[in-house]
């Protein structure tokens, strides 16, 4: 099936301000008018899938149907090897209804301590991002990106959001929390496309945004 080009107005199916800022940053160079599900007053659908890809699809399809516009959703999270892949799809839920990611990062660290994971090689993790664009007629475009790294403690840096301050990407000496948006998400030729979301977005842009 041929890829479908994204043009005009696009609903970003998130109520998370940090995620919205990152996605708008990625979309801005393509002249896409991005409006969030929160700004449109759309409800948040229940994320019942057991994979990042499945939950991204649920959010994109719900927003596309409600707004009758193409909708772009991301489902992402942190998967820690020593914790059996947790928090995984429950990454946001570990922060609770108050989005307390300081507590969520503490929970990850407690889990690592319980597992006896003290050496860097025992603290391997990856960020995963599944992107889905859904159209009201049912057409879907889906892309996956990952970035490997190591978890540090205590948290470092106050940039980004979520688990960024404890995640140090492979080959780097700073955490995502210590990197600028351009360093973390900047796409070639200006940036490295380093983050999981940027890597998934590179695939999406090649398929659906570039002429």
Distance CA 114, CA 134 (A): 41
Token pair of 62 as six digits: 């719900």
Are the CB atoms for 76 and 197 separated by under 8 Å?
yes
Are the CB atoms for 145 and 198 separated by under 8 Å?
yes
E-only strand ranges, the chain: 9-12, 33-36, 71-80, 124-134, 140-151, 167-169
* Coil, helix or strand at residue 195: coil
The catalytic position among 75, 100, 158, 164 is: 75
Work out the angle at residue 54's Cα, subtended by the Cα atoms of residues 51 and 41, and round it to the nearest 5 degrees. 120
117 Cβ neighbours under 8 A, 6+ residues apart: 82, 123
Q: CB neighbours (10 Å) of residue 40?
A: 15
Q: Is 75 a catalytic residue?
A: yes
Distance CA 37, CA 10 (A): 10
Are the CB atoms for 188 and 203 separated by under 8 Å?
no
What residues act catalytically? Answer: 75
């Amino acid at each position: 099936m041929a890829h479908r080009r994204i043009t005009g107005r696009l609903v970003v199916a998130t109520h998370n301000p940090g995620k919205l800022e990152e996605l708008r940053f990625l979309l801005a160079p393509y002249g896409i008018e991005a409006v969030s599900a929160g700004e449109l007053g759309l409800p948040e659908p229940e994320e019942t899938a057991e994979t990042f890809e499945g939950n991204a699809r649920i959010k994109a399809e719900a927003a596309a149907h409600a707004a009758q516009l193409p909708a772009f959703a991301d489902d992402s999270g942190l998967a820690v090897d020593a914790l059996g892949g947790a928090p995984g799809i429950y990454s946001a839920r570990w922060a609770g209804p108050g989005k307390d990611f300081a507590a969520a990062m503490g929970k990850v660290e407690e889990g690592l301590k319980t597992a006896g994971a003290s050496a860097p090689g025992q603290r391997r993790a990856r960020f995963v991002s599944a992107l889905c664009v859904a159209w009201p007629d049912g057409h879907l475009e889906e892309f996956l990106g990952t970035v490997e790294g190591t978890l540090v403690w205590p948290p470092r840096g106050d940039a980004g959001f979520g688990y960024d301050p404890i995640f140090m990407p492979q080959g780097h000496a700073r955490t995502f929390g210590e990197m600028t948006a351009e360093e973390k998400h900047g796409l070639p030729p200006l940036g490295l496309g380093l983050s999981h979301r940027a890597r998934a977005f590179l695939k999406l842009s090649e398929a659906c945004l570039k002429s």
